[in-house]
Amino acid sequence: MYRIIEKKALNPTVTQMVIDAPFVAKKALPGQFIILRVDEEGERIPLTIADYDREKGTVTIIFQIVGATTEKLNHKEAGDTIPDFVGPLGRPTETEGLKKVCVIGGGVGCAIALPVAKELAAQGCDVTSIIGFRSKDLVILEDEFKAASKKFYMMTDDGSYGRQGNVCVPLNEMLAAGETFDEVITIGPLIMMKFVCAATKPYNIKTIASMNPIMIDGTGMCGGCRLTVGGKMKFACVDGPDFDGHEIDFDEAMSRARMYADFEAKEREETCNLFRKEVK
Amino acid sequence: MPKFNMNPLKNPMPSQAPDVRNGNFKEVALGYTAEMAIDEAKRCLGCKNRPCVAGCPVNIAIPEFIAKVAEGDFEGAYQIIAMSSSLPAVCGRVCPQETQCEGKCTRGIKAGCEAVGIGRLERFVADYHNANAKEKATPVPSNGHKVAVIGSGPSGLTCAGDLAKMGYEVTIYEALHVAGGVLVYGIPEFRLPKAIVQKEVDNLKDLGVKIETNMVIGRVISVEELMGEYGYEAVFIGSGAGLPRFMNIPGENLKGVYSANEFLTRSNLMKAYKADSSTPIQHGKTVAVVGGGNVAMDAARTAKRLGAEVHVIYRRGEEELPARREEVEHAKEEGIIFDLLTNPTRILATDTDNPRDPAYGWVKGIECIRMELGEPDASGRRSPKEIPGSEFVIDVDCVIMSLGTSPNPLLKATTPGLETLRRGEIAVDENGKTSIEGVYCGGDAATGAATVIKAMGAGKVAAKSIDEYIKSKNN
């Protein structure tokens, strides 16, 4: 069993938890993920490692409440336990040797982009960060990003905070003005990553996207997380989750991500009803 | 009472009726009663040359345990089996006895005669013990030496059990949240109830074996670290062959296309077949299972139980089906359709081009081509050839690819100096020794996908080598 050490709401739908998991903490690197089960009947869900403390033996996860399992997880409090928490899984993000990088995070993906930005900054890399949210009340990790970045852009879709527009707006401006990067690293919704990759392609700037397909075991034994990259089949859990964004078939990935949409909607409804009853 | 039962045929196995069982996940075969077991045991001639023992990969003293069954001493029979096998309730159910112990049985040699039901008797004895034994096994006093086992499938469980019985302190590291490997994620509940696997795992824990789940060796701890800072004198790799193969035909990434591993993992390990499961699984209307092995039969019979019309698509003929005869018969009885000498060429998508349409990107059919068998090749196999222009489409909404699996690549990738063969199998000698001193390997990780009992045999051989290695090192 893995104890929840701390729980903090970052915004109305995004929660941060610090989990006691010394084995994971000892080996975790930016870009890697864990798989957890919320209870003995639970499904296995992947979440990226947002931070870790090797000495305390803790791992930080940040998750958005999007369905039944994340809803149940959000009902756990500090001191509660979860039965399974396995990792680190996947390959770490490659940051070595990069001198100038643009890190682009969207929504809860910013929680995954942050450790990458921090790692790059720690290596003396010149980091530009662009983070985007739907609106002001969903903003997370702003100060942490600012601390890791030389240049920083805050975007909201509705303009309620920072600049109005999506993350591609400042990216396109910079690229058009002749700005260049060793690499662009993007983490967020598939549609956002698709457009970031489309924006950098004409400039031939290497772009890495952190993919988040449906997973079960996370160890390479089922292929549920398969993607087409450069015309070849790849398993995101072992070959990724990072891939060359200019090679990824995003339309296929978006389609596959919706495979269980009906089931998920029903589960979420039932879970919400369950918690509503408990509150009464 | 006559000493022998001279009936040429086995006592039949009581089973659920096909049209009942294909609608539930309960075990198909119900097992012998005590009377049936004793009657069957009396068919054993107790031959001096014991050909059946040579046919068993772990060399169970078969005539001896059967003699105990004939006397009605079921616990005595169990103790004899337990000297050679750590998982008798599993093996009695899933071993291909027809090519092993029962294939060699003297009673089965004459035409029209059947071998003694050794597997059924082993199963009966193990189930009797698990239901009635009052005393738990007790750990053997420690000899002070630690061994790590990677993977809790049949080879790892066997290796761990044998080493624990010799006094070693054994820890098994398992990547998933439940121990058992293919016994829990691969073989369905209706062939091997998970409660039985759990019972066998608990028996091992009683012997003093520690099991650490959620530990992906290679990522969380390396083999080098196990041998170094963690203080294990030897490591056994039993990580299996879990990497699924695909055909590389168009449409394989459509929604509704699964590897058999994914489909079975969802159903077996995650219990997605239950209505209240939090893990989803597709309940297809018409399902194509591509492949003809035991895993294909398991996937087909699972899909049937989830309510589908199921087609098994196999490129060779009935004779060449690699699955056990019994599994093919069970599948046919349950209403599975076999499309033989047939090979998929592509998987077809729904007509819509609009990604926002919920129907977008789903399977709607599988295009196949008819095959014919050519002359036998050098290996004696008749290779299938396409019949030009014979393409046709089967309308399906789900496809399960069951084309075999390769060894998991993670340990090879993270263990410097670990030599592997062409398909990623870890290279071992006849004692299970790898290219690294103190590191042993067995089961599917070394051979590629094979059988449960072969993996158990390899675990047994490795346990013996590990014992010899540690003893020689400490002398």
The string of pLDDT tens digits covering residues B242-270 is: 999 999 999 999 999 999 999 999 999 99
End-to-end CA distance of chain A: 30
Please, what is the angle between helix B118-132 and helix B194-206, to 10°?
60
Query: Does the predicted interface ipTM exceed a cut of 0.95?
Result: no
Strands A100-106 and A126-133: parallel
Of the pLDDT bands very low, low, confident and very high (cuts 50, 70, 90), residue B216 is: very high
State how far the Cα of B211 lies from the Cα of B214, in Å rounded to an integer: 10
Q: What is the mean pLDDT of residues B351-377?
A: 90
Is A168 marked as a binding-site residue?
no
Q: What is the mean pLDDT of residues A171-180?
A: 95
How many C-beta atoms surround the C-beta of residue B472 within 10 A?
8
| B361/A252 CB distance under 8 A | yes
Lowest mean pLDDT among A261-270, B417-426, B430-439: A261-270
The whole-number pLDDT of residue B323 equals 92
pLDDT above 70 as % of chain B: 99
The model's pTM:
0.94
State how far the Cα of A63 lies from the Cα of A45, in Å rounded to an integer: 11
Task: Please name the residues in contact with B383: beta carbons below 8 A apart, sequence gap of 6 or more.
Answer: B373, B374, B377
- pLDDT tens by residue, B429-462: 999 999 999 999 999 999 998 888 889 999 999 9
Is A62 marked as a binding-site residue?
yes
- The sign of the torsion formed by the CA atoms of A23, A29, A32, A38 equals positive
| A87/B261 CB distance under 8 A | no
Shortest distance, CA A45 to any CA of chain B (angstroms): 10
Chain A residue numbers with beta carbons less than 8 Å from the beta carbon of B242 are: 219-221
| B242/A87 CB distance under 8 A | no
Assigned token pair, A205: 């700037």
Q: Tokens 């009936």 label which residue?
A: B7
* DSSP per-residue codes, B430-445: TT-B-SSTTEEE-THH
The single-letter DSSP state of residue B316 is: S
State how far the Cα of B28 lies from the Cα of B430, in Å rounded to an integer: 37
Is A237 marked as a binding-site residue?
yes
State how far the Cα of B263 lies from the Cα of B94, in Å rounded to an integer: 20
Task: Decide: residue B430, CB within 10 A, 0-12 exposed, 13-18 middle, 19+ buried.
Answer: exposed
Cα separations in angstroms, B138 against B81, B131, B177, B197, B208: 17, 18, 25, 19, 8
The amino acid at A2 = Y
Q: What is the mean pLDDT of residues A46-68?
A: 94
State how far the Cα of B347 lies from the Cα of B363, in Å rounded to an integer: 7
State how far the Cα of B79 lies from the Cα of B321, in Å rounded to an integer: 37
The whole-number pLDDT of residue A278 equals 55
Residues 5-64 of A with CB under 8 A from B: 23-24, 26-27, 37, 41-44
Of the pLDDT bands very low, low, confident and very high (cuts 50, 70, 90), residue B3 is: low
Strands A44-53 and A33-37: antiparallel
Task: Please name the residues in contact with A268: beta carbons below 8 A apart, sequence gap of 6 or more.
Answer: A66, A67, A68, A71
The whole-number pLDDT of residue B1 equals 45
**Are B389 and B368 within 8 A, CB to CB?**
no
Per-residue exposure over B3-14, b if at least 16 CB sit within 10 Å of its own CB, e if not: eebeeeebbebe
The verdict on A198 touching B (C-beta cutoff 8 Å) is no
Of the pLDDT bands very low, low, confident and very high (cuts 50, 70, 90), residue A280 is: very low
The whole-number pLDDT of residue A9 equals 94
State how far the Cα of B430 lies from the Cα of B444, in Å rounded to an integer: 15
Assigned token pair, B372: 């014919």
Which candidate, B157, B161, B66, B173, places its Cα nearest to that of B116?
Answer: B66
| B253/A228 CB distance under 8 A | yes
Task: Please name the residues in contact with B399: beta carbons below 8 A apart, sequence gap of 6 or more.
Answer: B256, B257, B258, B287, B288, B289, B290, B344, B347, B363, B366
Q: Which of B177, B281, B408 should one mutate to test binding to chain A, selecting the residue with the greatest count of A CBs within 10 A?
A: B177
Query: What length does chain A have?
Result: 280
3-state secondary structure at position B460: helix
Backbone φ and ψ for B98, nearest 5 degrees, come out as -60, -25
Q: What is the mean pLDDT of residues B106-118?
A: 92
Q: Tokens 């009605």 label which residue?
A: B72
- Max CA pair span of chain A: 59
**Phi-psi region for residue A29, left (φ > 0), alpha (ψ -120 to 50) or beta?**
beta
The verdict on B403 touching A (C-beta cutoff 8 Å) is no
State how far the Cα of B397 lies from the Cα of B255, in Å rounded to an integer: 9
Chain B residue numbers with beta carbons less than 8 Å from the beta carbon of A71 are: none
